[in-house]
Amino acid sequence: MKTYILSAGVVIVRNHPDGPRYLLLRAFNYWDFPKGVVEEGEDPLDAALREVCEETSLTELDFRWGKGYQETPPYGAGKIARYYVAESPSGDVCLPVNPVLGRPEHDEFRWVSFEEGDKLLGPRLRPILNWADWLVTRERHDG
């Protein structure tokens, strides 16, 4: 049985008058949600929260849709990324300097609509955005 490297992250959403906005981070030409490798013995949700804080400085997340998750298929050198969905009701995003790299891990961030995110994200992450958007917008239609 193959062992995979697990990364964990969060699809972060904010309410906007025109609909939900999702936080995307860009490193070079690649857009993703905040995420990083789960360290040995670390709970994946705790790793996701740590990575969000390290990469965006956001700390107040509300897991109002529960703590369920979706994972990507294996990619790269045997990695799998697990994503949770949470609301960030407030707080400014900043891209702090990573002490190991000596620069921020990401070059840019954007709060995007589902349609914008669908255009920016690659095929591996579009199903994650679809799932997150389904959770978020289902509440609007059911409520």
The pTM is what? 0.93
Mean predicted lDDT score pLDDT of the chain: 94
Q: In whole angstroms, what is the distance from residue 15 CA to residue 22 CA?
A: 9
- Which whole number is the average pLDDT over 87-107? 93
Q: In whole angstroms, what is the distance from residue 143 CA to residue 141 CA?
A: 6
CA dihedral 69, 66, 23, 74 (to 10 degrees): 0
Q: Which residues pair with 111 in a beta bridge?
A: 23
Q: For the stretch 118-135, what's the b/e string if a residue is b when 16 or more beta carbons lie within 10 angstroms of its beta carbon?
A: eebbeeebeebbebbbeb
The pLDDT tens digits for 12-41 are 999 999 999 999 999 999 999 999 999 999
What is the residue whose two structure tokens read 């709970």?
A: 43
Which of 10, 11, 13 lies closest to 89, judged by CA? 13
What is the residue whose two structure tokens read 């929260």?
A: 49
What is 5-142's CATH topology? Nucleoside Triphosphate Pyrophosphohydrolase (3.90.79)
Residue 141 has pLDDT above 80, yes or no: no
Domain ranges of the chain: 5-142
Residue 78 parent element (H or E): none
pLDDT at 139: 61
pLDDT at 143: 47
pLDDT category of residue 142 using cuts at 50, 70 and 90? low
pLDDT category of residue 140 using cuts at 50, 70 and 90? low
3-class SS at 34?
coil
Percentage of the chain lying above the pLDDT 90 cut: 89
